């Protein structure tokens, strides 16, 4: 199967690869997936005043499409508010990266990781999760 040029570009030059301090109150961490399924995604967001996402970082164990999906997701949410970021849909990632059907789960994982990170931040700060409640929240992995 051939990869789209955008997938290859994100894979070779990932945007926002790295980690933030998960113990920082202004950082939300989402970890989704499972090693035995072949993909685990960690997405972290640093939230500033006005609920604006100031920084985003990812680390991904998975195929090239999973890495590209998380790279793209971090790029897209930077500078957005939590409410705006909540609206990101996996289908946006599918379209941008031209993912084939067999790789759609990579985009779902990126959406889940984003929502889990937001939920983690909101939980830490005693705020409620706005509409579009995430199904999965991963925390306490430390």
Partner 1 sequence: MKLPIYMDYQATTPMDQRVLEAMLPYFTEHFGNAASRNHVFGWKAEEAVDKARLVLAEAIGADPREIVFTSGATESNNIALKGIAEMYASKGNHIITVQTEHPSILDTAARLERQGYNVTYLPVRPDGLLDLDILHRAITDKTILISVMTANNEIGVIQPIKEIGQIAREHGVLFHTDATQAVGKAPLDVNAMHLDLVSFTAHKIYGPKGIGALYVRRKNPRVRCAPLLDGGGHERGMRSGTLNVPGIVGFARAAQLALEERESESNRLTGLRNRLRDTIMHGLDQVYLNGHPDRRLPGNLNLSFAYVEGESLMMEMNDVALSSGSACTSASLKPSHVLQALGVTDELAHSSIRFGLGRFTTEEEVEYVGGKIVKAVGRLREMSPLYEMAKEGVDLKSVEWSEH
**Which residues have C-beta within 8 Å of that of residue 112, sequence separation ≥ 6?**
30, 32, 41, 134, 135, 136
Residues 9-28 within binding reach of partner 1 (CB under 8 A): 11, 14, 17, 19
Residue 136 touching partner 1 (CB under 8 A): yes
Q: Cα–Cα distance between 138 and 77 in angstroms, integer?
A: 19
- Give 46 or 105: the residue with its C-beta nearer to partner 1: 105
Of the residues 27, 31, 97, 99, which one makes contact with partner 1 according to CB under 8 A: 31
Should residue 114 be labelled a site residue for partner 1 when binding is judged by CB under 8 A?
Answer: no
Nearer to partner 1 by Cβ, of 14 and 28: the residue is 14
Q: Does 34 bind partner 1 (CB under 8 A)?
A: yes
Whether 63 is catalytic: no
CB of 53 within 8 A of CB of 98? no
Nearer to partner 1, 31 or 122 (CB): 31
How buried is residue 13: exposed, middle or buried, by Cβ count under 10 Å (0-12/13-18/19+)?
exposed
List the structure tokens of 127: 């705020």
Residue 32 is a binding residue for partner 1 (CB under 8 A): yes
3-state helix, strand, coil in the chain (%, to 5): 45, 20, 35
Angle between helices 64-77 and 90-97 (to 10 degrees): 110
Cβ closer to partner 1: 61 or 129?
A: 61
Catalytic residue numbers read 37, 106
Q: Contact positions toward partner 1, by CB under 8 A?
A: 3, 8, 11, 14, 17, 19, 31-42, 59-64, 66-67, 102, 105, 108-109, 112, 136, 138, 141-142
């Amino acid at each position: 199967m051939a990869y789209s040029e955008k997938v290859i570009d994100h894979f070779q030059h990932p945007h926002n690869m790295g980690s933030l301090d998960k113990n920082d109150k202004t950082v939300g961490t989402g970890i989704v997936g499972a090693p035995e399924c072949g993909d685990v995604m960690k997405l972290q967001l640093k939230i500033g005043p006005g609920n604006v996402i100031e920084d985003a970082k990812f680390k991904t164990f998975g195929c090239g499409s999973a890495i590209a999906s998380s790279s793209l997701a971090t790029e897209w949410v930077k500078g957005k508010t939590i409410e705006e970021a909540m609206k990101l849909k996996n289908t946006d990632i599918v379209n941008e990266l031209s993912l084939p059907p067999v790789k759609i789960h990579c985009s779902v994982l990126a959406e889940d990781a984003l929502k889990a990170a937001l939920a983690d931040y909101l939980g830490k700060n005693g705020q409620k999760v706005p509409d579009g409640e995430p199904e999965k929240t991963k925390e306490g992995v430390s």
